[in-house]
DNA sequence: GAGCATTTGTCCGTATGTATT
DNA sequence: CAATACATACGGACAAATGCT
């Protein structure tokens, strides 16, 4: 009984012996192997997918998933690029938009701007192994950066740009939780179903004086990245 | 087209107008309402369930889910009991086991004990509105507490007990991530499918001297609790 | 570029089991 | 005990994306 659970168990063992990127047998093959319906086989694979163990691609097959560990700690720079590189994958980030726009009230407040103030907003999209994995926006405090400096292609260097402009950017406070990608983000991920994501917000201030410089808000796919947060109480 | 997505959208609107605990129409009613098969209706409800919007109970029906927000911050005591009470629900915690047992190597190390040392381990199970929602264990450092003090029924008072024994318990470091409940935990939750959970580890030390007192490891159901972690860099 | 086989995505219809009320 | 409602499984059909020829 419970043929789905049996298929799940069996496939789990198989996956443990495979490497990320390896293909698992087609649904048709699994039907004959387990003597089950396609519906049952699919249920089992859906369970594995919801555990982030496999990813499916229509027309291509089902493959063992690779997941990056990202540790966020007070004493460590939270570099997804480094974490990705360390695990042998390739990370790329593109700025897909820069604009001046009236900032939402909460963000304006954090950046010390008046409600409704027009601020510079960068939109970026990050890829891991050529798949979109993270998506987010950065809001710059008034006067933090000259707009002329923003013809950059990678956002990893944004703190570098801030530093070059005479500031001493340090992260002031971060907020991490999980959510489901809002429609405009899910669209970037070319997914329709609810995509479980990490929601990470960070306020960057000037180490000399504490003036707010930048507010960052990002959504990162949970099936591509596992975030671990370590924190200590401030005495 | 995409009848499942249509049902999801429609039910989302309905749910937004309902209160936690309210019942949504039966699958049979939804079949006639949308002119779809039960399979499609179930798919839609499964999507809502995976977003933690509803919970299903065989024989009873499908109900709008209630989720507690728990904010973990360096300057705040992470009290799930308080968060639950503040949202109008009832939290109860029971100690379901106390024993002396050889501690896992990593835990012994954190508590300053020799590898393989026998330590006191408490197992507890937490309920929200009479449903199991959190499950975990506490390991006590050697000499931190007299075993005779452990005939307590609620673990919320554990720091109180430590304090009464002359210590000044403070959280030293916490580690938060998401996972899927291991079998023995899922069993406590009376669930077979993979239950998405928060995995929270905390080391408690003595404020006077920094001696480790207790290591806590807990699994909390994501469909019952939403955790938000706020942290600041230590300069 | 066109055509084709493979593979996953979606939906329909039906039957039976099991927990709740 | 009976009715209700969710859980699980079977079987078939067509659509859509992929990868290869």
Q: Do B230 and A47 touch (CB under 8 A)?
A: no
CA of A71 to C1' of D18 (A): 36
Please give the model's pTM, rounded to 2 decimal places.
0.90
Q: How many CB atoms lie within 10 A of CB B5?
A: 14
Encode pLDDT of A107-140 as tens digits: 999 998 888 889 989 999 999 998 999 999 999 8
CA of A82 to C1' of C9 (A): 36
What's the pLDDT at A97?
84
- The partner residue sitting opposite B234, judged by closest CB among A51, A75, A172, is A75
Q: Are strands B54-57 and B61-64 parallel, antiparallel or unpaired?
A: antiparallel
Rounded to an integer, the average pLDDT of B66-93 is 87
Rounded to an integer, the average pLDDT of B40-63 is 93
CA of A177 to nearest chain B CA: how many angstroms apart?
5
- The partner residue sitting opposite A171, judged by closest CB among B175, B222, B233, is B233
Q: Has residue A234 got a pLDDT over 70? A: no
C-alpha distances in Å from residue B16, one per residue of B60, B89, B222: 21, 20, 20
Where residue A232 falls (left for φ over 0; alpha for ψ -120 to 50; beta otherwise) is: beta
Using a CB–CB cutoff of 8 Å, tell me whether A170 touches chain B: yes
Q: Do B231 and A173 touch (CB under 8 A)?
A: yes
Q: Do B194 and A51 touch (CB under 8 A)?
A: yes
Encode pLDDT of A178-226 as tens digits: 999 998 898 888 877 789 999 999 999 988 878 898 999 999 999 999 9
What does the alpha-carbon distance between residue B172 and residue B150 come to, in Å, rounded to a whole number?
A: 23
What's the pLDDT at A130?
87
Q: State chain B's mean pLDDT as an integer.
A: 87
What does the alpha-carbon distance between residue B5 and residue B18 come to, in Å, rounded to a whole number?
A: 20
Q: How many CB atoms lie within 10 A of CB A46?
A: 16
Six token digits for residue A126: 């990050």
With beta carbons under 8 A apart, name residues in chain B contacting A77.
none
What's the pLDDT at A80?
87
Q: Has residue B200 got a pLDDT over 90? A: yes
- Candidates B110, B233, B234, B235: best to mutate against A (most CBs of A within 10 A) is B233
- The partner residue sitting opposite B47, judged by closest CB among A51, A176, A193, is A193
Q: Has residue A2 got a pLDDT over 80? A: yes
CA of A45 to C1' of D14 (A): 22
What whole-number percentage of chain A has pLDDT above 70?
92
What's the pLDDT at B150?
56
What does the alpha-carbon distance between residue A129 and residue A66 come to, in Å, rounded to a whole number?
A: 10
> Which positions ≥6 away from A85 have C-beta within 8 Å?
A91
Encode pLDDT of A28-37 as tens digits: 999 999 999 9
Residue reference for tokens 């896992």: B104
Encode pLDDT of A18-51 as tens digits: 999 999 999 999 999 999 999 999 999 999 999 9
pLDDT confidence tier of residue B11, bands split at 50, 70 and 90: very high
Residue burial A112-148, b: 16+ Cβ < 10 Å; e: rest? ebeeeeebbbbbbbbbbbeebbbbbbbbbbbebbeee
What's the pLDDT at B38?
92
pLDDT confidence tier of residue A156, bands split at 50, 70 and 90: low
Q: Do B230 and A72 touch (CB under 8 A)?
A: no
Rounded to an integer, the average pLDDT of B188-211 is 86
pLDDT confidence tier of residue A172, bands split at 50, 70 and 90: confident
What does the alpha-carbon distance between residue A24 and residue A45 come to, in Å, rounded to a whole number?
A: 10
What whole-number percentage of chain A has pLDDT above 90?
54
pLDDT confidence tier of residue B128, bands split at 50, 70 and 90: very high
What does the alpha-carbon distance between residue A11 and residue B72 come to, in Å, rounded to a whole number?
A: 37
What's the pLDDT at B149?
54
C-alpha distances in Å from residue B95, one per residue of B45, B118, B131, B160: 35, 20, 15, 15
Q: Do A231 and B231 touch (CB under 8 A)?
A: yes
Which is more confident, B203 or B142?
B203
């Amino acid at each position: 009984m419970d043929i789905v659970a049996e298929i799940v168990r069996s496939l789990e063992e198989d996956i443990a012996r495979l490497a990320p990127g390896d293909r698992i047998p087609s649904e048709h093959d699994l039907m004959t192997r387990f003597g089950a319906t396609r519906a049952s086989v699919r249920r089992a694979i859906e369970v594995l997918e919801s555990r982030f163990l496999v990813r499916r691609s229509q027309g291509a097959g089902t493959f063992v998933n690779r997941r990056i560990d990202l540790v966020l700690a007070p004493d460590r720079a939270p570099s997804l690029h480094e974490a990705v590189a360390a695990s042998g994958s390739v990370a790329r980030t593109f700025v897909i938009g820069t604009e001046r726009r009236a900032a939402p009230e909460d963000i304006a407040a954090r950046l010390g701007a008046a409600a409704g103030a027009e601020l510079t907003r960068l939109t970026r999209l990050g890829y891991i192994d050529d798949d979109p994995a993270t998506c987010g926006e950065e809001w710059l405090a008034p006067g933090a950066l000259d707009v002329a400096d923003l013809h950059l292609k990678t956002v990893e260097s944004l703190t570098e740009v801030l530093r070059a402009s005479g500031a001493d950017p340090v992260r002031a406070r971060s907020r991490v939780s999980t959510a489901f990608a809002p429609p405009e983000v899910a669209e970037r991920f070319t997914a329709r179903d609810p995509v479980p994501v990490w929601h990470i917000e960070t306020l960057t201030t000037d180490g000399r004086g504490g003036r707010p410089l930048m507010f960052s808000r990002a959504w990162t796919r949970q099936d591509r990245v596992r975030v671990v947060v370590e924190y200590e109480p401030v005495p």
